[in-house]
Homo-oligomer: A and B are copies of this chain.
């Protein structure tokens, strides 16, 4: 087999990543062996090493996908919102994750359920794996700042309580999002719409009534 086309190479890499994601989602990072991944992908034991230098690199790739799944929609929403209230921001973010599949950078369909399970494991991993932590924390900071900026604009527009600190409030927004994710994959949260509605009721009311009072 001579040099394969970049497309085929990319496709095979994606298959290995998909296989790893299924394994990791089902069995966990550390209960999945490299032979497990290879078998799930239908390739030989050595094949993944042509695409990733080590198991850690596969974990890292999937952790980045998982963090991206969570961070990217929020960042995008924060960037485009004109005068979003906290409730609107959270609700829209949760909405963005209320799908069964997303499409990755190469157009492939990826199970949200699987990737969120990997995300929870990636939280464990980043605690003591520098290679996972660094991009995760940087990604988080980017999102947080983006949210803070949106909330600042919201304050000017009266949609966000003027007494709120945008930096802290951005953390509250991320906290709600992360807390939702954890319940969804680990604590049998099925009524995701209900969660979102109550976030709106609890937060949204607060913001709206404040404005006149001040």
Contacts and interface: CB of A to CB of B under 8 A. Distances in A.
B161 A205 contact: yes
How many copies make up the complex?
Answer: 4
Nearest to A182: B178
Interface residues of A, number: 62
Contacts of A205: 161, 163, 206-207, 209-210
B210 A198 contact: no
Contact of A194 (B124, B165, B175, B180): B165
Contact of A191 (B168, B174, B185): B168
Given A123-B120, A128-B26, A178-B179, A168 B186 contact: no
A30 B188 CA distance: 25
Contacts of A169: 198, 201-202
